[in-house]
Amino acid sequence: MATGIYKHLVLPLLDRLDSETWHERVRHGLHTVEQVPLGPEFLEILAWKGRRVVDPRLKVSLDGVQLENPLIVGAGWDKSGISVRALYALGFASVEVGTVTPRPQPGNPRPRQFVLSSGVVINRLGFNNPGADVVAANLESYKSDNIPVGISIGKNKDDPEDRAPLAYAEVVRKLYPYGSYFVINVSSPNTPGLRSLQRKEVLLSIAQAVLEVMDSYGARKPLLIKIAPELSYQEVDEILDVVLQLKLAGVVATNTVALGEVKARYGEGWRLQPGGLSGDDEVFRRMSTSKVAYIYSQTKGSIDIIGVGGVKDAHTALEKILAGATAVQVVTAIRSEGLAVAARTNLGLLEWLNKNGVKSISNAVGARYEDFLDTK
């Protein structure tokens, strides 16, 4: 679907729908299409003229998990794990499902997702998901597809802090067979008290509990920690201490931004509205990219970084990669840029490699991290 047609004809019609309603309809529509004969092939045609963008120069390794390209559907887009095959057909190398909690959770009251501009959204969903048991049943149908699946894990809203390690471990216990990698989400602004779990001693206990479950299965899978963009560098350092001490795979940087001053860029009335802002906002994108660059500056490639925040095309993906990200995640741009966003981005990355004489995208990781450090 041509970008111009989508943005000028389709997107204005979608804007008339409640943002979450649109999201649900598309997700369930993809689920339906992927189950019919030749459904995935139809999605490849929809995405990019039936030609999946495959090139060995785009391959990356996420702590041993081989990805066909550096583009991942970020957590929050498919919370239930029902459209993995469809999203892969659209050109993404992996889908991160969730965030998944031990028990079903309805999330916060609606309306809870708001479009501020065509590429910027505020959400206060609150970990709405059907629970680990249902997600496990959903992911069972993809086991034979050999698609790398990430799983973002969390705790239920009513789980007290002292039970957090058990809650995160319980999700992994139920979903371990289905995940290629796991992400500890302690940075969503939409669950009261969740961001306090980013404290070093609490995070250490959560990660240790998860690793113990993995050990009970006989092998540790890559485990990353997802952080908030508002963290100070000192707070990031404490999280890196946990990552390095426990030999975790890395960090996902970053979650949505909850700062009122960022939300107020779209009208003063948004300043005090609860929720996190995501998407094509320059300030947010710069915040997340600077965290990627800082983490890379401290670790120099010894851990993997997944960059997320404002990725919508090859240019914004390259920002994260050059700052130090092994892979990048796309969420909001699936709506604002359309279902061909992965194909266009991958083609753009190949064009950049050709133009700059770079042998592979992995060779670009961290190549210009100093350019993206926040010097304030």
Q: Is the pLDDT of residue 269 over 90?
A: yes
Using DSSP bridges, classify how beta strands 304-308 and 327-330 pair: parallel, antiparallel or unpaired. parallel
CA distances from 115 to 274, 293, 355 (A): 14, 29, 36
Average pLDDT over residues 281-298: 97
Task: Give the whole-angstrom CA distance, residue 154 versus residue 221.
Answer: 17
Structure tokens at 196: 């306090």
What does the pLDDT look like over 14-57, one tens digit per residue? Answer: 666 677 888 898 899 999 999 999 888 888 887 766 567 899 99
CATH (domain of 32)? 3.20.20.70
What does the pLDDT look like over 118-164, one tens digit per residue? Answer: 789 999 999 999 999 999 999 999 999 999 999 999 999 999 999 99
The mean-pLDDT minimum among 11-15, 104-108, 180-184 falls in: 11-15
Task: Give the whole-angstrom CA distance, residue 264 versus residue 258.
Answer: 11
Task: Give the whole-angstrom CA distance, residue 347 versus residue 131.
Answer: 37
- Give the chain's mean pLDDT: 93
Task: Give the whole-angstrom CA distance, residue 367 versus residue 376.
Answer: 21
Average pLDDT over residues 50-65: 91
Token pair 């039970």 is at which residue? Answer: 163
Q: Is the pLDDT of residue 376 over 60?
A: no
The mean-pLDDT minimum among 11-15, 49-53, 333-337 falls in: 11-15
Task: Give the whole-angstrom CA distance, residue 214 versus residue 206.
Answer: 13
Average pLDDT over residues 326-340: 92
Which residues have CB under 8 Å from 1's CB, separation 6+?
A: 10, 46, 338, 339, 340
The residues that are catalytic are 188
The predicted pLDDT at position 375 comes to 66
- pLDDT band at residue 1 using 50, 70 and 90 as cut-offs: very low
Q: Which of 94, 91, 76, 58 has the alpha carbon at shortest distance from 20?
A: 76
- pLDDT band at residue 84 using 50, 70 and 90 as cut-offs: very high
Task: Give the whole-angstrom CA distance, residue 130 versus residue 132.
Answer: 7
Structure tokens at 85: 């095959």
- How many distinct structural domains can be found in the chain? 1
The domain containing residue 273 runs over which residues? 3-372
